[in-house]
Structure 1
Amino acid sequence: MTDYTEYLDEVIQAHVAIEHWLAEEQDQSALEHLLTRFSPQFSMVSPLGRVLDFEALSELFLLAGGKKLGFRIELSDLRGIALYDGGAVVSYREQQTDATGLHSDRRSTVVFEKQAGGKVVWRHLHETFCRE
């Protein structure tokens, strides 16, 4: 059996950090720590088809930090797709809610890189809204 544990754990831990960053006012060091999870070559396709790089992601987090009262993320359907020496590809479902009544549901696929020292970082993320 292929072991995706460290990659699936990273999905969970990253979303805990993102949830806290967006829902609570924190100092700049919390954002800096959050961003270390992402490769400098990070790329992303948002659910609306917008393409972001590491700089755009950093700006998005900076602007949204502490501004989503009651923000919560629920993950499900975590599974491995491919595992290789330099990383892995995994998928998951993510539901977001906040105090305003916002609810979004998306499926995501992430490509992870494993750095030389063994640290796992997010290299690419593709999100798609769910209608079901």
Structure 2
Amino acid sequence: MTATNPYFDDVLSTHVLIREWLSGEAAAAEKCADLLARFSPDFTMVAPGGMQLDHAGLTRFFQGAGGSRPGLAMRITDLQLIQESAAGATVSYREFQSLPGAENTERWSTVVYEKTPDGALLWRHLHETWAARAD
């Protein structure tokens, strides 16, 4: 029997929620709240193009983007545990996105987790970089 990694499980399940929200499969407002609850109030992010977001910016983005990407498909691969401690962990992964009629995208991402005193895992920081194309 292979034990699962709770951080990997969270990366995967969070991306399911993101895909469902952005594609419009999860249209109820409480679904957005469920998604946002996975992110620390101190959340920060560097997007692939260099834009920076805090928790308020992430909230505005998700609230405005629900259902904006019908047909969105996402795939996560290459999960790696970089570091783990009692306070949290750092995980890297590869993310593929596709939309009908649009060019597929690929990025490398690193998420820094904080673990709350009750054991909940919160996304504290996310850094995304476009993957280089082998042309």
TM-score bin (small chain): over 0.9
Structure 2 residue 128 is the aligned partner of structure 1 residue 127:
yes
Which residue identity does 1:93 align to in structure 2? Answer: R
Residue 60 of structure 1: aligned partner: 61
* Residues 1-132 of structure 1: pairs in structure 2 closer than 5 A: 5-24=5-24, 26-132=27-133
Q: Is the contact made by 1:96 and 1:103 (CA closer than 8 Å) also made in structure 2?
A: yes
Query: Any runs of at least 4 consecutive aligned residues in structure 1 with deviations exceeding 4 A, and if so which?
Result: none
Q: How much identity, in percent, do the aligned residues show?
A: 41
State the 1:36 CA deviation: 0.3
2:98 counterpart letter in structure 1? T
What is the alpha-carbon root mean square deviation over aligned residues? 1.3
- Which SS does the other structure have where 1:32 is aligned? helix
- The 8 Å contact of residues 4 and 80 in structure 1, kept in 2 or not, is answered as no
Q: TM-score, normalised by structure 2?
A: 0.92
Look up the equivalent residue of 1:38 and give its one-letter code: F
- Return the TM-score normalized by structure 1: 0.94
Q: Which moved more, 1:81-90 or 1:22-31?
A: 22-31
Deviations 1:10-39 (A, max 9, x none): 000000000000001511111001000000
Structure 1's unaligned 5+ residue stretches are: none
- Structure 1 residue 4 displacement after superposition: 7.5
Q: Unpaired runs of 5+ in structure 2?
A: none
Structure 2 Cα separation of the partners of residues 8 and 107 of structure 1: 15
Residue 4 and residue 107 in structure 1: after superposition, are their counterparts in 2 closer, same or farther (change >3 A)? Answer: farther
C-alpha distance in structure 2 between counterparts of 1:119 and 1:8, whole Å: 14
Aligned length: 130
Q: The residue matched to 1:63 in structure 2 has which SS?
A: helix
